[in-house]
Chain A
């Protein structure tokens, strides 16, 4: 039986020589049904073209490093099986809506800045005395925010969000979901500290509930839900008497 092969069309861009990205085709052996797109990229880099640049790390869908556009859809390349695309070519491009550094590597500075802006840490008005022991939580209290804590910062949601694509000032799905994770945490008392950022016009209110962020999220975080619930919460705080109490 002849060896099975598959074509990978990878975006190439050298900022020192190219005006715009181009696609370069590589035909590689498809020797195992469990091969993923990341395996194909690693094969290309190891055996065909060592100059291909891309990010990857855990290769098991937990680090969020290997996010790329695969046939137009944001995916973790370690979680995109070649068998789902074969025998058609697989087009691998850098994540949409981010500046391009080189080949498949994007500039994530804006994303990191937005994550930091929502203060993703436990904020206390009064720290507990060390002798008082740890902050205790029931399983139900953890369940309140567990889903939103599953984010691996892979940025697929930002690549899928047309609002972020049209307006880079938008805070974005992952940052708002992370803010909601901390706002729902029973140990946290920092909602008012985060409100100026999340209730900003470029915060939750820029979202028009396209919902594609939740569709592409590989960890089931459902950032669209986080954003809409945050809209409701911030509105009720504004409308209800004493809604803005601590």
Chain B
């Protein structure tokens, strides 16, 4: 197979982007660990990054993260095979349940962060 096989088709390209999203996510999480360590010095001595470059980096990583999550959750309908009253649950319904769970989990995490951050 030629090295550029993933550029031959749109579907291959999107698959490669999907797999690549783990890299910027991992880099951003490494930064988060560094920030958590820095925050351990206490509020008086800690100031978060506010540079434009960092904001742009975070927005790009957010986009990758959203694509990563979207592709992951939409695969659930293909993977999960569930029957209710002997009838298979449609894959669309399974996908919707995953997105609903994602929304609820995000709301809970956001509430906890805001509540303890006050």
B is a partner of A: yes
Residues of A participating in the B interface, judged by any CB pair closer than 8 Å? 72-73, 97, 140, 162, 165-166, 208-212, 215, 222, 224-225, 228-229, 231-232
B41 interface residue (CB < 8 Å to A): no
Query: In the complex, which residues of chain A have a beta carbon less than 8 angstroms from the beta carbon of B12?
Result: 162, 210, 212
Whether A232 touches B5, Cβ cut-off 8 Å, given contacts A211-B15, A212-B11, is no
In Å, the complex CA distance between A224 and B79 comes to: 9
- Tell me, rounded to whole Å, the shortest Cβ–Cβ distance linking B89 to chain A: 13
In Å, the complex CA distance between A165 and B15 comes to: 15
- Tell me, rounded to whole Å, the shortest Cβ–Cβ distance linking A183 to chain B: 12
Q: Is the CB of B15 within 8 A of A210?
A: yes
Q: Is the CB of A212 within 8 A of B81?
A: no
Jot down 13 A-B pairs with beta carbons below 8 A, ordered by A.
Answer: A72-B8, A162-B1, A162-B6, A162-B12, A166-B1, A210-B11, A212-B9, A212-B15, A215-B11, A224-B78, A228-B75, A229-B79, A232-B81
- Tell me, rounded to whole Å, the shortest Cβ–Cβ distance linking B13 to chain A: 11
- Number of A-B residue pairs at CB separation under 8 A: 38
B80 interface residue (CB < 8 Å to A): yes
Q: Which residue of the partner chain, among A211, A225, A228, A231, contacts B11 with CB atoms under 8 Å?
A: A211
Query: In the complex, which residues of chain A have a beta carbon less than 8 angstroms from the beta carbon of B1?
Result: 97, 162, 165-166
The 5 A-B pairs at the shortest CB distance, nearest first, are namely A228-B79, A165-B1, A225-B78, A210-B15, A229-B81
In Å, the complex CA distance between A165 and B3 comes to: 11
In Å, the complex CA distance between A230 and B101 comes to: 24
- Tell me, rounded to whole Å, the shortest Cβ–Cβ distance linking B101 to chain A: 17
Whether A232 touches B15, Cβ cut-off 8 Å, given contacts A162-B5, A162-B6, A212-B9, is no
In Å, the complex CA distance between A225 and B80 comes to: 9
Q: Is the CB of A209 within 8 A of B11?
A: no
Q: Is the CB of B78 within 8 A of A228?
A: yes
Query: In the complex, which residues of chain B have a beta carbon less than 8 angstroms from the beta carbon of A228?
Result: 75, 78-79
In Å, the complex CA distance between A211 and B15 comes to: 9
Query: In the complex, which residues of chain B have a beta carbon less than 8 angstroms from the beta carbon of A208?
Result: 19
In Å, the complex CA distance between A154 and B14 comes to: 25
In Å, the complex CA distance between A221 and B81 comes to: 15
